[in-house]
Amino acid sequence: MKRVTILGATGSVGSSTLDLIERNPDDFAVEALTAHRDVGKLAAAARRVGAALAVVGDEACLPALRDALDGSGIEAAGGAQAVVEAAARPVDWTMAAIVGTAGLKPVMAALARGGAVALANKEALVSAGDVMMAAARRAGTTLLPVDSEHNAVFQCLDDCPPERIRRIILTASGGPFRERSLEEMRAITPEQAVAHPNWSMGAKISVDSATMMNKGLELIEAYHLFPVSPEQLDVLVHRQSVIHSMVEYVDGSTLAQLGSPDMRVPIAHALAWPDRMDTPCERLDLARIGRLDFEAPDMVRFSALALARAALSAGGARPAILNAANEVAVAAFLDRRIGFLEIAAIVADVLDRFDPPKPQTLDAVLTIDAEARVLAGERVKDGVA
Ligand code: NAD
Ligand code: MG
């Protein structure tokens, strides 16, 4: 039996993880579940799986959580530090599914504890890649990629030496606006942006998919997870989201992982690893799908992807700044304070104005993240031309 903790248990990835665990009650025991503010959903899940601990990141929600857990015997805690402490509790497997750099300290605590960490929280790795990977190595923690593309690559990597890998090709659906002109994109609303054609996901990653910043963050994520240089990472638009990514080897073989676009497939892979487990996911019916299409990404219409690619090549603090500015801009867009095209404009502007040296510690990453957020916030307030 695996003892597991889910950070971000009320979100899209967290709920899919709980679904798999609840279908296999004999295989998993739940230590801790955490959420930001959604007390009702958190308490209900904690009761269903018999968690030992439930934590809300927002301390103001703790009294409501205590009420909701009354009589269950489940321990309740609240506040950002309580989330970190929950992540540090000994378990075999942790799902890191908090959205944004809010998940960075908890994921660092889970990495330091050892065991296996299933990583969905890509923003943490984009901001603090070197620091996080060093922490995982130090503790001997296995990092299992959950992002569907990285999980696909993980499955396609064989044991050959890294120098025999020619390229890693991340596939991208292209998002809901794959065929829209820049002029058409100007008036996109939050409702249109979060309606992804293939995947059902949280609001922030859905907007990132629409700008294709998501694929940019994934390039940086892949650079940290796999033994390749930035030049060996390619993006290929594949609108059906059936091939989740590919690895090309020096001998001309290209391996791909295929599956229905359902996050429970990669989550199940990480949950059962190194074994496999059954899922209720729709089986892939290639005869019905009929054809798979591919095209090169348009870096002009999707300038966020170009910004992320440049941040990856430049390295240092650039990815952390890119990510922080993007988080602020996406939140402002969802709040209807800026337009869709202004997201990438704000990220570009903050990257232009802020160029600190490479952060060597977690604290240095968090300082850069905070400063970039202030600059992006000012730009949101000023309104972008
Ligand atoms: P979501 O918005 O649906 O859920 C986010 C979770 O984090 C919720 O449980 C929320 O309560 C919690 N949270 C938010 N802010 C917090 C804070 N300040 N402190 C503590 N907890 C906080 O997001 P999601 O779509 O499940 O995505 C989670 C992560 O996984 C993101 O990094 C995303 O990029 C990545 N990811 C998601 C998908 C997907 O299909 N949804 C696919 C690949 C990668
Ligand atoms: Mg992905």
* Interval 136-147: pLDDT, tens: 999 999 999 999
Residue whose CA is at the smallest distance from ligand 1 atom 15? 36
Say how many Å lie between the CA of residue 122 and the centre of ligand 1: 10
Number of the ligand closest to the Cα of 203: 1
Triad 342, 344, 345: Cα angle to 5°: 55
Structure tokens at 144: 């299992």
Question: Which ligand 1 atom is at minimum distance from the Cα of 147?
Answer: 43
Closest C-alpha to 65, from 56, 219, 239, 167: 56
Question: What average pLDDT does this structure show over 296-300?
Answer: 97
- Number of the ligand 1 atom closest to the C-alpha atom of 199: 40
Q: For residues 227-255, give the mean pLDDT.
A: 98
CA distance 145 to 118: 6
- The pTM of this model reads 0.98
What does 188-250 look like in DSSP terms, one character per residue? Answer: --HHHHH--SS----HHHHHHHHHTHHHHHHHHHHHHHSS--GGGEEEEE-TT--EEEEEEET
For residues 124 and 107, the answer to whether their CB atoms sit within 8 Å is yes
Residue 197 has pLDDT above 90, yes or no: no
**What's the gap in Å between 153 CA and the centre of ligand 2?**
11
Identify the residue whose tokens are 């940019």. 216
Best mutation site among 6, 205, 220 for ligand 1, i.e. most ligand atoms within 8 A of its Cβ?
Answer: 205
What does the pLDDT average to over 352-380?
98
Report pLDDT digits (tens) over 28-81.
999 999 999 999 999 999 999 999 999 999 999 999 999 999 999 999 999 999
What does the pLDDT read at residue 60?
Answer: 98
Expressed in angstroms and rounded, the spacing between residue 382 Cα and the centre of ligand 2 is 32
Nearest residue to 19 via CA among 55, 53, 48, 60: 48
ipTM of the complex: 0.99
The arrangement of strands across the sheet holding 75-78 comes to 75-78, 53-56, 28-35, 2-7, 93-96, 116-119, 142-145
Residue 382: what pLDDT?
Answer: 82
Report residues whose beta carbon is within 6 angstroms of any ligand 1 atom: 8-14, 35-36, 38, 57, 83, 97-99, 102, 120-123, 147, 199, 201-202, 204-205, 263
Please tell me what DSSP assigns to residue 100: S
Q: Are 92 and 118 in contact (CB under 8 A)?
A: no
Residue 296 to residue 177: CA distance in whole angstroms: 15
Q: Phi and psi (nearest 5°) for 252?
A: 100, -5
pLDDT of residue 267: 98
Peptide bond into 90 cis (omega under 30): no
For the CA of 83, the closest atom of ligand 1 is 20
Strand-pair category, 93-96 with 75-78: unpaired
Nearest ligand to the CA of 36 is 1
pLDDT tens profile 95-126: 999 999 999 999 999 999 989 999 999 999 99
Listed by start position, the domains of the chain span: 2-145
Q: In angstroms, rounded to a whole number, what is the distance separating the alpha carbons of residues 66 and 72?
A: 10
User: Which residue puts its alpha carbon closest to atom 42 of ligand 1?
Assistant: 147
Q: DSSP labels for 6-63?
A: EETTTSHHHHHHHHHHHH-TTTEEEEEEEESS-HHHHHHHHHHHT-SEEEESSGGGHH
Q: Say what the pLDDT of residue 244 is.
A: 98
Distance 180 CA to ligand 1 centre (A): 27
Q: To test ligand 1's pocket by mutation, which of 17, 38, 98 has the most ligand atoms within 8 angstroms of CB?
A: 98
Q: How many helices and strands in the chain, by DSSP H and E?
A: 17, 11
Q: What pLDDT, in 10s, does the model give residues 137-193? A: 999 999 999 999 999 999 999 888 999 999 999 999 999 999 999 999 999 999 999
Q: Is the pLDDT of residue 230 over 60?
A: yes
Distance of CA 165 from the midpoint of ligand 1 (Å): 31
Residue 214 has pLDDT above 60, yes or no: yes
Examine the pLDDT at 383 and tell me if it is beyond 80: no
- Report every protein residue that has its C-beta within 5 angstroms of ion ligand 2: 147-149
Annotated binding-site residue numbers for Mn(2+):
147, 149, 218
Find the 323 Cα to ligand 1 centroid distance in Å. Answer: 15
pLDDT at 384 over 70: no
Ligand 1 atom nearest 56 alpha carbon: 20
d(CA 174, CA 212): 7
**Per-residue pLDDT, 159:** 85
Q: Could you tell me the CATH superfamily of domain 2-145?
A: NAD(P)-binding Rossmann-like Domain (3.40.50.720)
- 341 Cβ contact list (under 8 Å, min separation 6): 182, 185, 186
Order of all β-strands in the sheet with 254-258: 233-237, 165-172, 243-249, 254-258
Burial class (CB in 10 A: 0-12, 13-18, 19+), 70: exposed
CA pair distance 16, 199, nearest whole angstrom: 13
Average pLDDT, the chain: 97
Q: How many CB atoms lie within 10 A of CB 366?
A: 18
CA of 97 to the centre of ligand 1 (A): 5
- Dist. CA 175–CA 275, nearest whole Å: 32
